Amino acid sequence: MSSVSRSNLRTLAAAGAIAIVAAAAGYGLAQLKPRPSAASEASAPGGKKVLYWYDPMVPQQHFPAPGKSPMGMDMVPKYADESVGAGAVGFKIDPARVANLGVRIATATRGELASGVTATGTIEFNLRDVAIVQPRSAGFVQRVYGRAPGDIIPAGAPLADLLVPEWGGAQAEYLAVRRTGDPALIRAAQQRLQLLGMSPGLIRQIDQSGRARNVVTVTAPIGGVIKTLSVRSGMSVSAGETLAEISGLGTVWLNAAVPEAMAGQVRPGQPATATLAAYPGETFSGRVTAVLPQAQVESRTLQVRIELPNRGGRLRPGMFANVQLTSTARPAILVPTEAIIRTGKRNLVMLALPGGRYQPAEVQIGQSARDKTEILAGLSEGERIVASGQFLIDSEASLSGVQARPIGGGMTVATPAVAPKSAAGLAESTGRIESLGADGVTISHQPVPAIGWPAMTMTFRVEQPALLKGIKKGDRVRFAFDQPAAGPTLRRLSKEASQ
């Protein structure tokens, strides 16, 4: 074999070896190439495509396959057809998953909210019913009657006998003047006795007995409890010195601590009822006499003073009481309190729309009573909301990027009734004028089927003040509006023909 043939054979052998190595490398690379995960190729029954899996408590975390989340929760699939489509409102959740979440639906209804405040308080003395016992002249204590602070005494009960030396001479002079029979001198002598501190009753006793009485008995001017008593046998007292302080028990104060957030519901004259552990089954009625002006910084409460009759002296200062302050019920749109989602910055409810769709809506809430909360704005009567399980549905809303319906925004639904708009591209409806402003008018209107709005109350912008000429609060009107970027704007407004 020639040298040329051997050279060609070597070339062919080398090329074959290279081809074998390349084929083996290509096979190895093919085996190393990652295959699509089973989760990404998985489909739910009915042909739904699973985009990813997530923890319902932390919807921002996505996982490629089912199982347990880092928090120990069963992960939930996110389907491709759950995203919001063009023209659709809210987001859709598989009905089977809704059933598993235990979702309960409620309806916003119009009813009466019996506003009331429940608080706790303690019984105190009525500080307007206090008597201070003082002698009108200096003297000496001859006798005490065994009283002590805390004793309950009736009106007129004796406290001490005082010897007043200067009264003796004045009374002897008065008796001598009486024997003269001169009316003018007698009146002058009586006036002197009164100026020395003698009571008209004591002067009458002197007239009747004809003898001087320089010992006077100090008595309690009112019935009640002795708060302080500073008189002892043999001690000397001066004119105007406080011998005793007596607090009446005919009425007592109940000082209740009302939360600052509820203080606006309390006013003087409001009726109140109290129950005490000392008298189970009994209710004590009274009225608010004052709301004290300063709040308690530590507890964020206001002190409300309630005056209660104390028949038989059964209400003792220091007793603990539960207080119920009631007021007149008023109409309002009510939803279950548990349906409110409080984020700290705003309050939301989860609307249950037709077709199994859901949408968060921002609301302005008012007072709450008996597991019902008043809705001031953002929700209309008859709208359906989620009352339980709303937090998990809210996580779905965050996951789908659905924006909450703002207060006063367009209340559209998923399947609006088909109705033509006006020729000018305006939506029309009828309603009642609730209020008029410089640049807007609030109308309580009927449904607007052209854009899917339910009946509600909202404010419309007015760019042409001439539209409001002759219009006043309470008028029934027909109106047309459009929705520029600045918000719903009135374009036509007229009174209904019936007016």
pLDDT value at position 94? 67
Helix, coil or strand: residue 188: helix
Average pLDDT over residues 220-226: 92
* pLDDT, mean over the chain: 78
Q: How much is the average pLDDT of 329-344?
A: 82
Tell me the mean pLDDT in the region 83-103: 62
Rounded CA-CA distance 86/304 in Å is 56
What's the mean pLDDT in 391-420? 54
Q: What does the alpha-carbon distance between residue 233 and residue 140 come to, in Å, rounded to a whole number?
A: 8
Max Cα–Cα distance, the chain, nearest Å: 185
Q: Same topology for domains 101-114+331-400 and 130-247, yes or no?
A: no
Q: Where are the domains of the chain?
A: 101-114+331-400, 130-247, 427-495
Q: What is the mean pLDDT of residues 41-55?
A: 61
- pLDDT of residue 129 exceeding 60: yes
Residues 121/341, Cβ–Cβ less than 8 Å: no
In order, the DSSP letters of 448-461 are BTTTTB-SEEEEEE
CATH architecture of 101-114+331-400: Beta Barrel (2.40)
134-148: pLDDT as tens digits: 988 888 999 999 899
pLDDT at res. 391? 65
Residue-wise pLDDT for 272-289, tens only, equals 999 999 999 899 999 999
> pLDDT of 185-203, one tens digit each?
888 888 888 888 888 888 8
Q: What angle do CA 379, 381, 384 make, to 5 degrees?
A: 75
Alpha carbons within 13 A on the beta-carbon side of 485: 0
Q: Tell me the sheet residues that pair with 490.
A: 462, 481
Proportion of the chain above pLDDT 90, given as a percent:
20
pLDDT at 411: 42
DSSP 68: B
Which amino acid appears at position 321 of this protein? A
| Kind and range of the H or E run holding 251 | strand 251-259
Classified as helix, coil or strand, 100 is helix
Residue 317 has what pLDDT?
Answer: 92
Q: Nearest CA to 198 among 235, 171, 230?
A: 171
Interacting residues of 317 by C-beta distance below 8 A, sequence separation 6+? 122, 123, 124, 125, 252
Under 8 Å between Cβ of 265 and 118: no
Look at 71-80, 236-245, 328-337, 355-364 and tell me which has the smallest mean pLDDT: 71-80
The confidence score (pLDDT) of residue 498 equals 62
CB 137 within 8 A of CB 239: yes
Which CATH number does 427-495 carry?
2.40.50.320
Token pair recorded at residue 67: 């199982």
**254-263, 280-289, 382-391: which has the highest mean pLDDT?**
280-289
> Is the backbone of residue 460 left (phi > 0), alpha (psi -120 to 50) or beta?
beta
Q: What is the CA radius of gyration of the chain?
A: 44
* Residue 452: both structure tokens together: 């899917």
Q: Where are the beta strands (DSSP E) in 297-439?
A: 301-309, 320-326, 330-336, 341-342, 347-353, 357-369, 372-377, 384-388, 427-436
What fold, for 130-247?
Answer: OB fold (Dihydrolipoamide Acetyltransferase, E2P) (2.40.50)
User: Does the pLDDT of residue 1 top 60, yes or no?
Assistant: no
**117 pLDDT exceeds 90?**
no
Report the 3 state secondary structure along 285-334.
Answer: EEEEEEEEEEEECCCCEEEEEEEEECHHHCCCCCCEEEEEEECCCEEEEE
C-alpha dist (Å) from residue 199 to 155, 190, 191: 17, 10, 11
> Which of the four pLDDT bands, split at 50, 70 and 90, describes residue 22?
very low
What confidence score (pLDDT) does residue 410 get? 43
In eight-state DSSP terms, residue 99 is H
